[in-house]
């Protein structure tokens, strides 16, 4: 649906006149052909304000002239935010370096505060700079984003039953606040390639730490072998949350208890779902995963585990795992061992270049 243009001075004059005559907000919206939410936002953001004793500045009557002036000033300041980044070489280079490492604007902005940098730009300012003519050259470094879920065409046919299946409702409520309750999922090669290779993924939710292994196919035996190997990287693992895919049929062969999501409820294991979405930056959707080496797979996870995260106070997942003694460094990939050794020695984050 085509987005409507911003309110004009003429429309603001009509809003002022109609409100002064006592028309309700919904009536004003119908008369000028706008949504009621548009009128509500306009009154909240651009209303004339007066100083009330003991209550500070409070909204008063709506005045079209004042509203237009405020809107024009806001647009002018928004343009300046782009110039601020473009005119500060250190800030611009920091943002560009973060984008090259795979960080998104929110992570870049948060990391500036965490590192107490002498410069700062909010995530909104970074996005606006990127979408301006000055930042267009860096837009290809942005991760792909999906803001609305894709429509579903009904439920798929039920797959083969999981023997000895235990539902997620049996999972302890305290697991939300304890380390060691992992989430598992897989992503596969594109159908058009005819490839059977897949990547099996485990995630520690509280640390946002992930690890993965390429498997030749989705047969239960191959998937369980990969999970057993990946579990060696974690300490004190208490449970694994899985989906109902046939690849999880042999879950009893794994020593850690498994809980299964309700059918078609991927949101019950959101951390691994989100990580797989981010991994598509390294493994393009529709590609044959057999073309990627195990070293490339572990390198991609090492990059993500060294990214600052907002939910971790802009620490990296690797830092959180080491702080909470949740990682068997000897059983991790070569890249993770290198990073862990440097973090332990220098007490600082080392970004992977590549």
Answer whether 184's CB lies under 8 Å from 201's CB: yes
Q: Which two tokens stand for residue 325?
A: 């003694």
Contacts of residue 172, Cβ cutoff 8 Å, sequence gap at least 6: none
Assigned domain for 149 exists: no
Same domain, 120 and 229: no
Domain boundary among 44, 73, 102: 73
The torsion of the CA quartet 203, 205, 207, 211, rounded to 10 degrees, works out to 0
In CATH, what number is assigned to the domain containing residue 54? 1.10.10
Query: b/e per residue, 110-143, with b = 16+ CB within 10 A?
Result: bbbeeeeeeeebeeebbbbbbebebbeebeebbe
Assigned domain for 32 exists: yes
Same domain, 247 and 178: yes
Starting at the edge strand that comes first in sequence, how are the strands of the sheet with 239-242 ordered? 209-215, 198-204, 181-188, 239-242, 258-260
Same domain, 206 and 126: no
Assigned domain for 155 exists: no
Secondary structure E strands in the chain: 49-52, 56-59, 181-188, 198-204, 209-215, 239-242, 258-260
Same domain, 198 and 275: yes
Give the range of the structural domain holding residue 50, as residue numbers without chain letter. 9-73
Same domain, 36 and 103: no
Assigned domain for 159 exists: no
pLDDT at site 183: 96
pLDDT at site 332: 75
Number of domains within the chain: 3
pLDDT at site 150: 40
Sort strands 56-59 and 209-215 into parallel, antiparallel or unpaired: unpaired
Answer whether 316's CB lies under 8 Å from 340's CB: no
Which residue, among 208, 182, 353, 222, has the nearest Cα to 278 in the 3D structure? 208
Domain boundary among 73, 102, 125: 73
Same domain, 212 and 320: yes
Assigned domain for 147 exists: no
Same domain, 103 and 66: no
Same domain, 93 and 231: no
Assigned domain for 146 exists: no
Q: Full-prediction pTM beyond 0.75?
A: no
Assigned domain for 51 exists: yes
Assigned domain for 219 exists: yes
Q: How far apart are CA 84 and CA 28, in angstroms?
A: 39
Same domain, 29 and 94: no
Q: How far apart are CA 131 and CA 337, in angstroms?
A: 38
Same domain, 320 and 218: yes
In CATH, what number is assigned to the domain containing residue 173? 3.30.420.10
Q: How far apart are CA 307 and CA 302, in angstroms?
A: 9
Q: DSSP letters along 283-344, please?
A: S-TTS-GGGS-HHHHHHHHHHHHTS--GGGTT--HHHHHHHTT-B-GGGS-HHHHHHHHHHH
Same domain, 179 and 300: yes
Answer whether 218's CB lies under 8 Å from 188's CB: yes
Same domain, 290 and 245: yes
Q: Give the pLDDT means over successive 10-residue stretches in the chain (354 positions).
A: 74 87 88 88 75 53 83 69 81 93 92 93 87 84 54 51 90 92 94 91 95 94 94 92 92 92 89 92 89 91 92 92 88 73 54 35
């Amino acid at each position: 649906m085509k987005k409507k243009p911003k309110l004009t001075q003429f429309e603001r004059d009509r809003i002022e006149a109609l409100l002064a005559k006592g028309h309700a907000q919904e009536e004003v919206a119908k008369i000028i052909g706008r949504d009621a939410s548009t009128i509500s936002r306009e009154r909240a953001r651009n209303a004339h304000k007066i100083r009330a004793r003991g209550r500070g500045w409070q909204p008063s009557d709506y005045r079209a002239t004042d509203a237009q002036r405020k809107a024009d000033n806001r647009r002018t300041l928004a343009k300046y935010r782009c110039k601020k980044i473009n005119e500060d070489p250190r800030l611009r280079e920091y943002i560009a370096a973060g984008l090259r490492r795979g960080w998104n604007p929110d992570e870049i902005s948060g990391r500036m505060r965490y590192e107490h940098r002498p410069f700062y730009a909010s995530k909104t300012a970074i996005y606006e700079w990127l979408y301006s003519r000055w930042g267009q050259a860096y837009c290809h470094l942005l991760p792909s984003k999906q803001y609305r879920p894709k429509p579903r065409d009904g439920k798929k046919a039920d797959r083969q039953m999981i023997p000895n299946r235990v539902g997620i409702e049996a999972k302890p409520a305290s697991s939300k606040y304890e380390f060691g309750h992992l989430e598992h999922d897989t992503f596969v090669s594109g159908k058009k390639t005819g490839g059977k290779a897949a990547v099996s993924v485990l995630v520690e939710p509280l640390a946002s730490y992930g690890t993965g292994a390429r498997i030749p196919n989705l047969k239960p035996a191959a998937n369980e072998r990969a999970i057993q190997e990946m579990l060696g990287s974690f300490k004190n693992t208490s449970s694994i949350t899985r989906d109902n895919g046939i690849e999880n049929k042999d879950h009893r062969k794994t020593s850690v208890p498994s809980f299964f999501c309700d059918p078609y409820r991927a949101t019950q294991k959101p951390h691994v779902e989100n990580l797989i979405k981010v991994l598509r930056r390294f493994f393009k959707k529709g590609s044959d995963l057999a073309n990627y080496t195990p070293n490339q797979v572990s390198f991609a996870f090492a990059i993500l585990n060294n990214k600052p995260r907002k939910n971790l106070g802009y620490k990296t997942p690797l830092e959180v795992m080491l702080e909470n003694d949740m990682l068997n460094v000897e059983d991790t990939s070569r890249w993770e061992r290198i990073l862990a050794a440097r973090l332990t020695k220098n007490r600082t984050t080392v970004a992977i270049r590549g």
